[in-house]
Amino acid sequence: MSATVEVEHLRVTFRTGAGLPGRRSGTLTAVNDVSLTIPAGQTLGLVGESGSGKSTLGQAMLRLVPATGRVRIGERDVLSLPRRGLRQLRGEAQIVFQDPYGSLNPRQRIGAILAEPLAVHRLLPPRDRPARVRELLDLVGLRSDLAQRYPHQLSGGQRQRVAIARAIAVNPSFLVLDEPVSALDVSIQAQVLNLLVDLRARLGLTYLFVGHDLAVVRHVSDRIAVMYLGRIVEEAPAGALLTACAHPYTRGLVSALPVADPETERVRERIVLTGDLPSPITPPPGCGFHPRCWLYTQLGQPERCRTDQPVLRVVGPDQSAACHFSRELAASPLGRAPDAPTRRRHVPVPVEGSSG
């Protein structure tokens, strides 16, 4: 049975440098005041570049890292569960990691790997477990004789199918899929994505799908949230995010997507995001994106961007964004900044050491 998942004001802070000689200890806010809802049976895609806090958010939602705020999975209030409630939580919500090889015990046969959660959660007596293992292998499109093999005897795609089978073995209602196809060959990615979409429908699951590649995330998500420096900067139905995004960072991600139609390509503005994600140990003042923001440059570097942290505001039907100029951006056609010409061009952003 699927569950609605709700997150309110979630925050994850790590200590940094503690115990390292010559390094002062400090704190780093990896997830900063994040609120979101995933309706039962839907997929929320979570995109953002490496280090933006996606994995930490997914793990905090399952209480795999300490967090403050509120997380509800169905009827369960995750962060206030007593320790003894954690096993029930693991029976309701599971995670699939990027690297199936690292997450499967190399010394266990596949059959034992899949039988283990059935034993830990006391779901079935030992005599009934082999049949359930066969059923799980069948559900993820694997032959039952693979139960006798070890992880190293399987292909990357087969291993990820085993990791998915292990996650669904306990009949969860919610899965965090943390970059589940990023480590796979491109030719295999689509098969595993289709399997996940199929399983969601068959088993009535709710998904948080974490990915850095918008081209992948868009195919599986009902809604997409964009994360930057620990915060959600835009959230919208997948279609709206691709056609009318309202945050300059999202617009950069969308403009990098391949376009099949040459006419669209001709008028589309390619926005190149330069520079790296700032360190969350010393985040920039004001809007965390302003040092890399093409719109900030284009609008003559408005002071608000340097001083005020924009909050998520509603900018369209079911769409919200955290930029002081979101409404103007949402109203302008995709690929054009409010006052940009229609011809394709690169937005010049000064980069240290380059001639511009």
Ligand X SMILES: Nc1ncnc2c1ncn2[C@@H]1O[C@H](COP(=O)(O)OP(=O)(O)OP(=O)(O)O)[C@@H](O)[C@H]1O
Give the footprint of ligand X on this chain (CB under 6 A). 14, 16, 28, 30, 48, 50-56, 212, 280
Distance from C-alpha of 195 to C-alpha of 202, rounded to nearest angstrom: 10
CB of residue 144 to ligand X, shortest distance in Å? 34
Residue in the structure block whose two tokens are 């809007």: 287
Q: Which is nearer to ligand X, 60 or 136 (CB)?
A: 60
CB of residue 253 to ligand X, shortest distance in Å? 13
CB of residue 53 to ligand X, shortest distance in Å? 4
Q: Which is nearer to ligand X, 137 or 241 (CB)?
A: 241
Beta carbons of 46 and 227 less than 8 angstroms apart: yes
User: How does DSSP assign 98-160, residue by residue?
Assistant: S-HHHHS-TTS-HHHHHHHHHHHTT-S-GGGHHHHHHHHHHHTT--GGGGGS-GGGS-HHHHH
Q: Which is nearer to ligand X, 117 or 280 (CB)?
A: 280
List Cα–Cα distances, 173 to 61, 78, 182, in angstroms: 14, 14, 23
Q: Which is nearer to ligand X, 53 or 100 (CB)?
A: 53
Q: Which is nearer to ligand X, 1 or 281 (CB)?
A: 281
CB of residue 93 to ligand X, shortest distance in Å? 18
CB of residue 109 to ligand X, shortest distance in Å? 30
Beta carbons of 104 and 162 less than 8 angstroms apart: yes
Q: Which is nearer to ligand X, 227 or 245 (CB)?
A: 227
Distance from C-alpha of 137 to C-alpha of 117, rounded to nearest angstrom: 14
CB of residue 262 to ligand X, shortest distance in Å? 33
Beta strands in the chain (DSSP E): 5-16, 26-38, 43-47, 68-73, 76-77, 93-96, 174-178, 206-211, 223-228, 231-237, 313-316, 319-321
Q: Which is nearer to ligand X, 43 or 59 (CB)?
A: 59
CB of residue 7 to ligand X, shortest distance in Å? 15
Q: Which is nearer to ligand X, 30 or 205 (CB)?
A: 30
Cβ count near 161 (within 10 Å): 25
Residue in the structure block whose two tokens are 């609008």: 299
CB of residue 25 to ligand X, shortest distance in Å? 11
Q: Which is nearer to ligand X, 12 or 164 (CB)?
A: 12
Burial bucket for residue 307 (CB in 10 Å: 0-12, 13-18, 19+): exposed
CB of residue 179 to ligand X, shortest distance in Å? 6
Alpha helices in 232-319 (DSSP H): 238-243, 248-255, 262-267, 294-298, 303-307
Beta carbons of 246 and 313 less than 8 angstroms apart: no
Question: How many Cα atoms occupy the beta-carbon half-sphere of 9 within 13 Å?
Answer: 3
For 216, the 3-state DSSP assignment is: helix
User: What is the DSSP secondary structure assignment for residue 60, as one 8-state letter?
Assistant: H
